[in-house]
């Protein structure tokens, strides 16, 4: 934290995470207010998941080639403009379900492209000796701001209405412009590769262990995040009978758990076997947490599950990205982080499509349980291999 460049990157990351995480909650709640047709939420998930799927790898390639300050300021400025337009449309009474879907799509573009850029900057601004702590602090900032922003968004929506939630996102994007412009980002040797740059980086990552297994695990993480993002608000409203503030408090409970373990990793705990810590955290809770949330019929029990789930999530996400960055060549950092963002955030539309089918055929709670079982099986098939456990 004594490193001015890292502080600036961390502040920018917090604003980008608020824009990405809180906007999903705001648009999910908005669509829920506009229509009582539950599968509409899953369709929204498909729509807002397209930018990470289609643009993350390209954004990572741009991060290897362009000035990080120029790219970051441009993306935060675009985010400011798009959230402002969405708020104005809602204020004018022009917000319908199709318009909300379109706004959710375009407002997701800039935050999705910011994530690989800001993640790739961390190993550029800190020494390898403190990379684990830096990643833990960045995860802490990302998780705390994203989930805390959801709670703030829920509180703002309940107190002032949905329009205020969109203005909150506009303010976060403006703050991102200011923080990123003032960050002393060191210059780096830009990659000259343009044609096939993403394809070549993907070929290296997919044929190299442990990057291949870590990217697969990141994909499962994206599916888990999709299920909790799209289905937990629906469960809170329709199964547990809560309003927006109590629904967003469930995300705050996850954040408390993640912040606790992320801070522990950043300041005190240095596991000798990072791969084993990752395997234990993901294998024990990543998918089973969804199963528990789907089965719970009590708000306080659901709140407790969210806290426990967050405790393991803080360890899993920190170890996963530290191991990935440790095993990535510096000249490929932006593109590999772009691939990781594609794996995590790009799985959103695919998972949302599956959830659409499950919710339509069963119920919100049953869809959550089925998704948790499938994710558990996928995680166990990855982490029980020596490729991860021996890292």
pLDDT digits (tens, 9 = 90+) for 28-49: 888 878 887 767 777 887 788 7
Nearest to 8 by CA among 118, 171, 115: 118
- Give the residue ranges of DSSP H helices in 268-298: 274-285, 288-295
The pLDDT value recorded for residue 189 is 61
Report pTM.
Answer: 0.71
Give CA 315 to chain center in angstroms. 15
The pLDDT value recorded for residue 333 is 78
The pLDDT value recorded for residue 188 is 66
Nearest to 321 by CA among 260, 378, 391: 391
Largest CA distance in the chain: 57
Residue 315 contacts residue 323 (beta carbons within 8 Å): no
What is the DSSP annotation of 65-92? HS-HHHHHHHHHHHHHHHHHHHHHHHHT
Nearest to 257 by CA among 148, 341, 389, 344: 148
Which residue do the tokens 């990659």 mark? 191
- How far is residue 145's CA from residue 142's CA, in Å, rounded to a whole number? 5
For the chain, the residue count is 391
Q: Is the dihedral of CA 199, 204, 208, 211 positive or negative?
A: negative
The pLDDT value recorded for residue 193 is 52
The pLDDT value recorded for residue 375 is 92
Structural domains in the chain, CATH included, are: 4-182+194-389 (1.20.1250.20)
Residue 341 contacts residue 58 (beta carbons within 8 Å): no
The pLDDT value recorded for residue 171 is 92
pLDDT digits (tens, 9 = 90+) for 84-102: 999 999 989 888 888 988 9
Q: Which residues of the chain have pLDDT under 70?
A: 38, 143-144, 146-148, 150, 188-198, 346
The pLDDT value recorded for residue 77 is 95
* CB-based burial, 14-44: b 16+ in 10 Å, e otherwise: bbbbbbbbbbbbbbbbbbbebeeebebbbbb
What is the DSSP annotation of 128-171? GGGHHHHHHHHHHHHHHHHHHHHHHHHHHHHHH-HHHHHHHHHH
Which residues have CB under 8 Å from 51's CB, separation 6+? 105, 108, 109, 112, 113
The pLDDT value recorded for residue 197 is 62
């Amino acid at each position: 934290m004594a490193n001015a460049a890292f502080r600036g990157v961390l502040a920018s990351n917090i604003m980008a995470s608020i824009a990405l995480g809180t906007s999903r909650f705001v648009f999910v709640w908005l669509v829920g207010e506009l229509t009582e047709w539950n599968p509409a939420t899953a369709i929204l998930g498909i729509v807002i998941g397209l930018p990470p799927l289609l643009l993350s790898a390209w954004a990572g390639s741009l991060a290897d080639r362009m000035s990080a300050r120029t790219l970051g300021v441009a993306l935060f400025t675009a985010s400011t403009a798009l959230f402002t337009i969405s708020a104005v449309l809602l204020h004018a009474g022009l917000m319908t379900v199709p318009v909300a879907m379109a706004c959710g799509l375009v407002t997701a573009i800039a935050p999705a492209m910011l994530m690989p850029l800001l993640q790739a900057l961390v190993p550029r601004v800190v020494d390898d000796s403190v990379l684990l702590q830096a990643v833990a602090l960045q995860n802490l900032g990302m998780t705390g701001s994203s989930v805390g922003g959801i709670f703030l968004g829920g509180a703002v929506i309940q107190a002032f209405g949905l329009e205020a939630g969109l203005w909150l996102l506009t303010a976060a994007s403006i703050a991102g412009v200011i923080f990123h412009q003032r960050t002393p980002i060191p210059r780096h040797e830009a990659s000259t590769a343009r044609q096939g740059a993403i394809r070549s980086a993907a070929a290296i990552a997919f044929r190299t262990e442990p990057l291949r297994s870590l990217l697969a695990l990141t994909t499962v993480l994206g599916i888990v995040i999709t299920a909790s993002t799209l289905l937990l608000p629906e469960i809170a409203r329709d199964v547990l009978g809560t309003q927006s503030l109590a629904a967003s408090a469930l995300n705050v409970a996850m954040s408390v758990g993640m912040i606790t373990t992320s801070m522990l990793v950043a300041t005190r705990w240095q596991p000798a076997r990072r791969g084993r810590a990752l395997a234990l955290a993901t294998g024990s809770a990543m998918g089973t947490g969804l199963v528990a949330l789907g089965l719970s019929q009590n708000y306080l029990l659901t709140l407790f599950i969210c806290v426990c789930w967050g405790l393991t999530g803080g360890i899993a996400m920190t170890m996963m990205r530290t191991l990935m960055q440790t095993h990535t060549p510096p000249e490929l950092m932006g593109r590999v982080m772009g691939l990781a963002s594609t794996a995590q955030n790009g799985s959103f539309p695919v998972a949302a499509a599956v959830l659409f089918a499950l919710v339509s055929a069963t119920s919100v709670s049953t869809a959550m349980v089925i998704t948790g079982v499938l994710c558990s099986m996928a995680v166990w098939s990855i982490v029980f291999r020596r490729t991860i456990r021996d890292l």
